[in-house]
Amino acid sequence: MAKQKRPEFRSEPLAAALAAGDMVAVALALRNGRFVVPLMKPGNPDKPTETGEVWMFRQPETARLALLLFSDAKNKPVALPPYVGLHDGTWLASFLRTYGDDIETVLFDVAGPHSLQASPEELLRVLELEAPAAE
């Protein structure tokens, strides 16, 4: 039996979009690809529906949360929990619909090389856009 290929914890389209500072390209990368999310606790590999517990930064001055997303697991600061998960735009839209009221901001590649910040509302808008109907 062939060995199962390990997933790559990197999104080249998201990295390129962040480097260009192009929010439209970021939106497309989120909708059509995967990205890295820090986890407090990893999911159970024997139960694919268990994806782990997402780690978020609580801002000391406001107690509001910041969701951190990364284009590459190597961009995650070592001070964060060691676990990561790979998620896609469908997961992000669902997560933001569920927890968006508590999340003040979403930070991409917070430690660089090319960081970007967006509001949960802005991301939900671009993630939930419907494709134009064919005529």
pLDDT of residue 108: 98
Query: Is the separation of the CB atoms in 59 and 104 below 8 Å?
Result: yes
For residue 56 the two structure tokens come to 């978020």
Q: Given this model, what pLDDT does residue 135 score?
A: 56
As given in the structure block, the two tokens for residue 87 are 């998620």
CATH number of 12-42+52-127: 3.40.1350.90
User: How far is 84 from 58, CA to CA, in rounded Å?
Assistant: 18
Q: Which pLDDT score, from 0 to 100, does residue 58 have? A: 95
Q: For position 59, what pLDDT does the model report?
A: 87
Domain boundaries, the chain: 12-42+52-127
Closest CA to 25 of 71, 56, 94, 81: 71
- Give the count of beta carbons closer than 10 Å to the beta carbon of residue 79: 6
Q: What is the pLDDT along the chain (135 residues), one digit of tens a residue?
A: 556 677 789 999 999 999 999 998 999 999 999 999 999 998 887 887 788 899 999 989 888 999 999 999 999 999 999 999 999 999 999 999 999 999 999 999 999 999 999 999 999 999 887 555 555
- Give the predicted TM-score (pTM) of the model: 0.87
- Give me the pLDDT at residue 50, please: 83
